[in-house]
Amino acid sequence: MARNLGLSKARGELVTFFDSDDIALSYLYTDIINIMLSHGVDFCIFRGSSFDHVTQKVHEFPDYYVWEKIMGGAEFKVLTPQQEPRLARLEPSYYFGNTMISPY
């Protein structure tokens, strides 16, 4: 619900969902926006990992194996849901426009 409200108030060309417990490399958005613009991408999803502050270990999300199969070692791919139906199994499962990029 909060994300829907945020989308209704957004005024820019691009929107990101970044939660208070998320961590990203400083150059992530610059690189991704450049890739999106150069490939005419409407929507981007990222693969993520979970960090356990108690054990200090990184854990993969349950959909890790799907990401691995889709990406096949590539850094990023530009795909449509028609080209790669397994994208619907990934979290989050939100699609806008008809193009998607999945950075590794």
Predicted confidence band of residue 100 (pLDDT cuts 50, 70, 90): very low
- Across 55-64, average pLDDT: 83
Give the residue extent of every domain in the chain. Answer: 25-101
- Span 60-70, average pLDDT: 81
What pLDDT does residue 89 have? 67
pLDDT at 94: 40
| pLDDT tens digits, one per residue of 1-40 | 777 788 888 888 888 888 777 888 888 889 888 988 898 8
Residues 78-85: contacts with CB within 8 Å, 24+ apart? 78/39, 78/41
Q: How many Cα atoms sit within 13 Å of 75 on the Cβ side?
A: 4
Q: Report the pLDDT value the prediction gives residue 91, as an integer from 0 to 100.
A: 60
C-alpha to C-alpha distances, 31 to 50, 61, 70, 93, nearest whole angstrom: 22, 23, 21, 22
Say which residue, 99 or 88, is predicted with more confidence. 88
